[in-house]
Structure 1
Amino acid sequence: AELYRDSHPFVYKCTAITNKGDNLDRYLLGRQFMVVIVVFCVNMSGGPLGDAELWGFPSWLSNIFLQTGLAMILFTCNVGQLNTQVNASLCMLDFINNYFAYFTLWVAMAIEFSGLLHSSYLVQMLVAALAGKKIESNEEPRNMMQNLFFYARCILSLAILIGCFAVTLEALFAGKTTMWEGVVLTLQSLSSSIPHVRGGMLE
């Protein structure tokens, strides 16, 4: 890190934070939440009306690109995600050597600190226990007060997660989703759960 302390000061500040203890894991947790929020906001702002038409396209073509959200997915991937990832992979130091990257880092850290996503740590513990492996940490073991604060946030996060799950199930059973009419509840449940599992595997 000392190699670019003077040439890339913001990169140095960022890495000084992320390379300390388990901060990189904390950043990734908050960062992923920010990515999901951005994608959902893009989908909400660009989602078409139910009877939307465009340029006189036939209904089947409009359904493919508009109603399914494919056009917004392609636009978001190509303009908002993939090109920045390619540029960042080629020019890593230059890409994050700015105020915005430094600000984003602290926002991600604040999101993780809030405890909103701490149920992920419970899942991590469960998977590690099932695999018979110990979770390795770059920090000293937590003391009693730190454990109390940590598990309090885990309980809060778990309560929020259960509430979100209940709302999602209620919407599925009540038919209050944007799924096409006539699709049975089993397929709706699978179409909702499989992308979650697949997305986790891709991450």
Structure 2
Amino acid sequence: MLPEAMWVPLKLGQNKLPADVGALASRADAVLVGSGLSAKGISLASSTARAIRGIAILDADALNPKVIRDTRRAIHRVLLPHAGEFLRITGKRATPAAAHLAAKKLQAIIVLKGPLTVVTDGDSLTYIPFGGPVLARGGSGDLLAGIVTSVIARRKILKMTPLQATIAAVTWHALAADWLTQHKGETAVRTTQLLDGLSPTLRSA
């Protein structure tokens, strides 16, 4: 339960999908699509993606060619694949060079998650040498997606480009993992404890 979360009630349309999600997505500075969805939610992911006019952040089951094409009206898009998802959307083995080429082809920022996470927009490559085994736990990618979306949504206030905001968010997430390892260890910790490291990591930046 998240008692502090803000909820927006949505009516179901004839297809049993939220009828108002497109209107909400079209007004947002940044929209995350895919986290928590199963493959059965692709139609919802696609309809949401088509409505986005800000920046589209795609994760999990939204990382497929159809949904990516459906974000064509977004001003920018950020893809957050691990190796298997990267193979699904490109047909290529996940390497920094392949990510660089894919970002250029798709006109997107790609965050290739792995032991050494890479962020590329097709012009530059940034390696994130932080994080460690804590980030291999289930749910850490969902947390990353939320952080990336939040920072990108505030990019104008922070005076950052979408690429700069993405790199900052990925680095923040990874440094929070290092903080958690240092203070709690790598074994008996939960993914949600990464949240505990966000504030001290930001204060020490």
TM-score (norm: length of structure 1) = 0.24
Greater relative CO (CA pairs within 8 A, separation 6+): 1
Higher strand share: 2
Work out which of the two has the higher radius of gyration on C-alpha atoms and give 1 or 2: 1
Higher helix share: 1
